[in-house]
Amino acid sequence: MAKIHLILEIGSSNTYIYRIGKGLLLAEPTLVAMKYGKEEPFAVGFSAKKLIGKTSEAITVISPIENGVIKNKKLTIEMLKVFYNKVVPTKTVFDTVDVSLCISNGLTEKQIEDYKEVIYSIGIGNVDTLYSSIVSLVGADVNINKPSAVISLNIGGGTTDFAVVSLNEIVTGFSINFGGIDMDEAIRQYIYNEKGLEISIISAEKLKNECLSMYPNDTSNMEVSGIDIETKKPRSEIILSTDLRLAVLHFIDNICSGIEHLINLCSPEIASDIAPNGIVLTGGVANLVGIDDYITKKVSLPCHIPDEPTLATIVGGAKYYLNNLKSKKH
């Protein structure tokens, strides 16, 4: 009998699966494509994302996860079945498969049970949970076992987790319903209102990832195509990094306010610990140019970003699991 252990992260934007002993085997968009009148999705992940804006109204592409919460259990199950078969293609009846699920610290017990129910339904033997705020620090190579507090700031696609972590535990923390998806929509709306151009959400995401900078004097720019809202004809426009900064600035400022609120929840002793250790920023939004310097300037704390902030949670979950496995053996 073979025992298979998976680390699973189901985000509003992307889903990751790490198989212990084999590495990261899946990183795909948390998307399903549905045909009108059909109950089963006909495409998931990257295959579904390729269809956004390129199909008739008879086909819709949606995420079954919204703000880190399951909104459609049936579609989440169907999506996970496809992903699961990609990473465990040769499972036999004698194999057992267990899962460690990375979760937001803002989920309720009911929402956590919803995730477990979905995962059990695809044939998993046992499901335990890991807080993303903790394992993302492990993925960033932070020693979480020290009696010294650090802020874990994880900005995902649909949620942002704030937590003070010390001695392998969350001292205090909370979550807000905001993430990279909201920034994409804010960029799309800004270009519609200020430039008179309707662009796709995929184009907005591309602008965010490739052109947006938090430095006010950044001269980066990028051409984007869309539909002129007056003439209804195709048109291109050069979008400046400064335009994009204006579109998302209030979101980043709200995150900075969240950090200040988090510190106010701490005792003086914990707060004094945070000062030298600062903030560890993970998640896809951490890739924005200059976001660490902007946060540091706003909240007067050092902000550190690991080499691969997007993968910090899933890789950290695997490291955390393996470290605990070793400690149990000794």
**pLDDT 10s digits, 96-134:** 899 999 999 999 999 999 999 999 999 898 999 999 999
Report the domain count for the chain: 2
CATH classification of the domain holding 14 = 3.30.420.40
Among residues 158, 148, 71, which one has the least CA distance to residue 106?
158
Instruction: Kindly state the DSSP code that residue 308 receives in the 8-state scheme.
Output: -
Mean pLDDT score across all residues of the chain: 94
Model confidence band, residue 2 (pLDDT cutoffs 50, 70, 90): confident
Calpha distance 73→114 (Å, rounded) = 8
Calpha distance 219→274 (Å, rounded) = 34
**pLDDT 10s digits, 289-303:** 999 999 999 999 999
**pLDDT 10s digits, 156-171:** 999 999 999 999 999 9
Q: Is the domain of 126 the same as that of 261?
A: no
Q: Is the domain of 98 the same as that of 219?
A: no
Q: Is the domain of 36 the same as that of 152?
A: no
Look up the domain containing 8 and give its range.
3-134+313-329
Residue 245 near residue 320, CB atoms below 8 Å: no
Q: Is the domain of 36 the same as that of 184?
A: no
Q: Can you spell out the DSSP letters for 184-201?
A: HHHHHHHHHHHH-EE--H
Indicate the pTM of the whole model: 0.94
Calpha distance 97→246 (Å, rounded) = 47
Q: Is the domain of 127 the same as that of 150?
A: no
Q: Is the domain of 152 the same as that of 282?
A: yes
- Helix pair 241-264, 180-195: axis angle to 10 deg: 140
Q: Can you spell out the DSSP letters for 218-272?
A: ---EEEEEEEETTT-SEEEEEEEHHHHHHHHHHHHHHHHHHHHHHHHTS-HHHHH
Q: Is the domain of 291 the same as that of 240?
A: yes
Using DSSP bridges, classify how beta strands 96-103 and 69-70 pair: parallel, antiparallel or unpaired.
unpaired
**pLDDT 10s digits, 197-225:** 999 999 999 999 999 999 999 999 999 99
Q: Is the domain of 46 the same as that of 116?
A: yes
